[in-house]
Copies of this chain bind each other. A is one copy, B any other.
Amino acid sequence: MDALLLIAHGSRREASNDEVRELTRELVQKSKRKFSIVECAFLELAIPSIPEGVTICVQKGANSITVLPYFLSAGRHVAVDIPEELGKAMQLHPQLEIKVAPYLGSANEISSILVSLSKQAA
């Protein structure tokens, strides 16, 4: 089974983490043709951690995980920290296939969304 794991930074403010969890629930609906499991995990400050999130997917039956970095820029978190955490997860689950999707900020559609938001200013 294929799993999608949305990875966010994590915040001391629980409402921000809840926004990520809510988005994850939206993704369940929107990606159910491709992914039978959709979970989220946090780099720091919130749970589950990345290795914990991977383990949750495996316990639900995943043998392949697509990781989706919910980050705006290709900084240290995307380039170094997330791969490091995924490395820990792979030691726990050596048979697991892990693929990494491009981070959110790299999507071509971002500028169109910004234009659309600019029209909702008040």
Chain A residues with a Cβ under 8 A of chain B: 4, 6, 8, 11, 13, 15-16, 19-20, 23, 26-27, 30-31, 34-35, 66-68, 70, 72-76, 99-107, 109-122
Which of B27, B103, B105, B115 makes the CB contact (< 8 A) with A111?
Answer: B27
Q: Which residues of B contact A13 (CB under 8 A)?
A: 73, 75-76
Nearest-neighbour CB distance to chain B for A13, whole angstroms, equals 5
Which of B4, B116, B120, B121 makes the CB contact (< 8 A) with A109?
Answer: B116
Which of B66, B72, B76 makes the CB contact (< 8 A) with A118?
Answer: B66
Q: Are A11 and B110 touching (Cβ within 8 A)?
A: no
Determine the distance from Cα of A117 to Cα of B120 in the docked complex, in whole angstroms.
Answer: 25
Q: Are A30 and B112 touching (Cβ within 8 A)?
A: yes
* Given contact pairs A27-B111, A75-B11, A113-B110, A118 touches B19 in the complex (Cβ within 8 A): no
